[in-house]
Amino acid sequence: MATLTTRQQVAQLVVPWLLGNYTARDDSMFLVARRWVAELEVGGIIISVGSPLDVTAKLNDLQRAAPLPLLISADLEWGAGMRLRGGTAFPPLMAVGATGDPLDAYTIGRAAALEGRAVGIHVNFAPVTDVNNNPANPVINTRAFGEDPQAVGHLVAAFVRGLREHGMLSTLKHFPGHGDTEIDSHIGLPVIRGDFARMDSIELVPFRAGIAAGADVVMSGHIAFPDFTGNEDPATLSPAVMTGLLRDSLQFHGLVVTDALVMGAIVSKFGAGEAAVRAFEAGSDLLLMPADPDTAVAAMVAAVEQGRIAPDRLQRSVRRALETKVALGLFRQRTAPLDSVMDRVGVQEFLRQADDIATRAITLVRDTLGTVRALRARPQRLTVIAYGDEHNGSVAATLIDALRAGGDTVDDFRLWPMSGPASYDSARTAIGRAPVTVFVANVRPLSWKGFIALPDSLAALITATDSVRPTVLVSLGSPYLLTQTPTVGAYLLAWSGVRAAERAVARVLLGQVPIGGRLPIRIPPGYPIGHGLTLPVTHPDQH
């Protein structure tokens, strides 16, 4: 601390974003990152998508270039596979809500910690601690454990323990709660109405549980709580929330990090520099993903020199950051051994655990005409109509292959958000070739998208098909698709489009495993928390 100038202290709190893909050392984007580290002297990096070996090599190079060790963070909400191509992809947290087993939450946390630390990541920006009690929420949805605050709290605590007991810092997000919103904070500013009593009985319950379990970091949410704060400033910029509520009331003493400062709820109003200063004044320590790291550092330094930020306040945050690095052992060893990555990332132990959780999470909401029961009874001829967003070109491929391997005869056709009338005509032709239709839809929460729903044309096709032939709707994402297809006779939830979840759907439709998942959320109008039809094994899995 004594050796750092004000500018160096400020830079220790700035955490820019970096893609984890392979780059040569003289690549222009990597040279920018090297300058952040070596010249601007930022204190950390949030790493995004890349292969495990590329991420490790990239982070090691940056660690060697940094005057002080870097604190590396990543979003590994459903395991390392969320960011590491080849890491273990578990189903999302709402699938754990469907099993209801804290051990499953612990298992995902443990695997994320072991795989993440193997490539040089120290902080997991997870678990999502929000209570998803708004079906229209476009950005939380299956990322949360569920809707019941107490149940969410138990699972959050278990996830935190899984991370911490295996060497990785945990993060509770998005404080004080992003579940009851209908606006994506990447785009605009969500507003939640309700006084402290409401927050204390809903949003804050799982945060208290996570803090009690030893959570290391809390991430702010870009959400306004005007009935509590008296204004419509986002929580990230509110001293009443980030200091009064989090530090003083909830007695959280760890690191506080902003959600991404590049998000529309913040940067569009305040700009890169002022957003960073205001977030720090409100109570945050680490400034995540400012729109421009240089501007953020310059604005913070100016705020100290002008007296807006007291030197001792700055030093408290820097001390927290440095003490965290000391506790992680980064001053002794800051790089990760490249030759052990293949022994730790994507190993069979974790893949089996992902398959197990995904299978037990499958939830049968409705089977009015017994279509799912009939599919499980014997091999069938069926048509699979798969729908996925533009980022998932292989949606349902694993599922279809597994159905065919299990004895079903499958015709398939894929639809996309941009599919037009000709594609829908082709889908209807494919539907006519088999007596049973299975629609598989991967509608998931995507940042910056702003909504989460089936296209109207697809909802209409599902409803029309269901009226004339046995039909199953399988959701590989949002559980709320039934609101657009209220008459469909069979509705099956897999919570995710990861391969483990697709394999689980196939095993369920083939009758190889029992069905026993329970809803961790309400599906309006008629399905309460805890609902789920149970079916026994029909044809035991031979694998």
> Would you tell me how many other CB atoms lie within 10 Å of the CB of residue 59?
24
Q: Does the structure show a pLDDT above 80 at 337?
A: yes
Q: Is the CB of residue 334 less than 8 Å from the CB of residue 47?
A: no
Distances (CA, A) of 385 to 13, 303, 363, 432: 48, 57, 20, 12
At 137, the pLDDT band (50, 70, 90 cuts) reads confident
Which tops the pLDDT comparison, 194 or 2?
Answer: 2
Query: What is the distance between the alpha carbons of residues 502 and 481, in angstroms, rounded to a whole number?
Result: 18
What's the average model confidence in pLDDT over 458-475?
98
* Closest CA relative to residue 500, chosen from 359, 362, 372: 359
Q: Is 294 marked active-site?
A: no
Query: What is the distance between the alpha carbons of residues 297 and 35, in angstroms, rounded to a whole number?
Result: 14
Per-residue model confidence as pLDDT tens digits over 235-286: 999 999 999 999 999 999 999 999 989 876 677 778 889 999 999 999 999 9
Q: Does the structure show a pLDDT above 50 at 492?
A: yes
Give 446-450's long-range contacts (Cβ < 8 A, gap of 24+): 446/139, 446/389, 446/391, 447/139, 447/184, 447/186, 448/184, 448/186, 448/187, 449/138, 449/184, 450/138, 450/183, 450/184, 450/187
Q: Does the structure show a pLDDT above 70 at 451?
A: no
Distances (CA, A) of 504 to 76, 251, 372, 426: 22, 42, 14, 28
148: buried, middle or exposed (CB in 10 Å: 19+, 13-18, 0-12)? buried
Q: Is 148 helix (H, G, I), strand (E, B) or coil?
A: coil
Q: Does the structure show a pLDDT above 70 at 205?
A: yes
Per-residue model confidence as pLDDT tens digits over 515-535: 999 999 999 889 999 999 999
The pLDDT value given to residue 31: 98
At 217, the pLDDT band (50, 70, 90 cuts) reads very high
Q: Does the structure show a pLDDT above 60 at 188?
A: yes
Q: Does the structure show a pLDDT above 90 at 21?
A: yes
Q: Which residues, at least 6 apart from 349, have a Cβ–Cβ distance to it below 8 Å?
A: none
Q: Is the CB of residue 477 less than 8 Å from the CB of residue 442?
A: yes
Q: Is the CB of residue 66 less than 8 Å from the CB of residue 341?
A: no
The pLDDT value given to residue 448: 45
At 543, the pLDDT band (50, 70, 90 cuts) reads very low
Q: Does the structure show a pLDDT above 70 at 450?
A: no
Structural domains of the chain, with CATH: 13-343 (3.20.20.300), 362-509 (3.40.50.1700)
pTM to 2 decimals?
A: 0.96
* Closest CA relative to residue 93, chosen from 177, 157, 184: 157
Q: Does the structure show a pLDDT above 70 at 185?
A: no
What's the average model confidence in pLDDT over 378-384?
96
Q: Does the structure show a pLDDT above 70 at 186?
A: no
For the chain, percent of residues with pLDDT exceeding 90 = 85
The pLDDT value given to residue 263: 73
Q: Does the structure show a pLDDT above 70 at 542?
A: no
Catalytic one of 148, 184, 259, 367:
259
